[in-house]
Amino acid sequence: MNLMRNTLVAAALLGAQAVLMSGTAAAAAPDQCKLEITGNDMMQYDKKELAVPADCTSVTVTLHHAGKLPAAAMGHNWVLVNTPDLTAVANAGMAAGLASNYVPEGDKRVLAHTKIVGGGETTSVTFSTSILKKGGAYSYLCTFPGHNALMRGTFKFGS
């Protein structure tokens, strides 16, 4: 019992992200095809990596904004792209503006995206994994101007 508790504490110290990525976390997750990520007022996501198993036919990503600043000042979204497209999508998003959630309309390089949220708000997106390659690694970012430098991470599908 103590050993188990110590193991759990050690796991917690490694950070929630590491726990989520480990094999033991699978049992803890009620639905491995549903992911959560949180942004804050310091232009950061709380996770640098998200992963779903290959048997997920669709994925839901829920984005929380745990800060207090409004969307116009510290907006966050969650945009999934092929990694080589990250900078181009960030630039196109900036040009698209807040009214378009900083996402270029109809841009095929955008694989999935949420809207922009401000402090205290939550949004989510559900998308089919048929657009993804099994074993593939993708990138996600916030396309609010300037945010992608810090707000980016890796999205793994079945790897």
Give contact residues for Co ion (rule: CB under 5 A).
Answer: 76, 142, 144, 147, 151
Query: In this structure, how many other beta carbons lie within 10 angstroms of the beta carbon of residue 157?
Result: 20
Q: How far is the CB of 53 from Co ion (least distance, A)?
A: 28
Nearer to Co ion, 113 or 147 (CB): 147
CB of 56 to Co ion, least distance (A): 25
Nearer to Co ion, 37 or 142 (CB): 142
CA distances from 112 to 52, 90, 95 (A): 15, 14, 18
Shortest-Cβ-distance residue relative to Co ion: 142
Give Cβ neighbours of residue 97 (< 8 Å, ≥ 6 apart).
Answer: none
Q: What SS3 state is found at 104? A: coil
Least distance (Å) between residue 74 CB and Co ion = 7
C-alpha to C-alpha distance for 75 and 73, rounded to whole angstroms: 6
Q: Which is nearer to Co ion, 144 or 157 (CB)?
A: 144
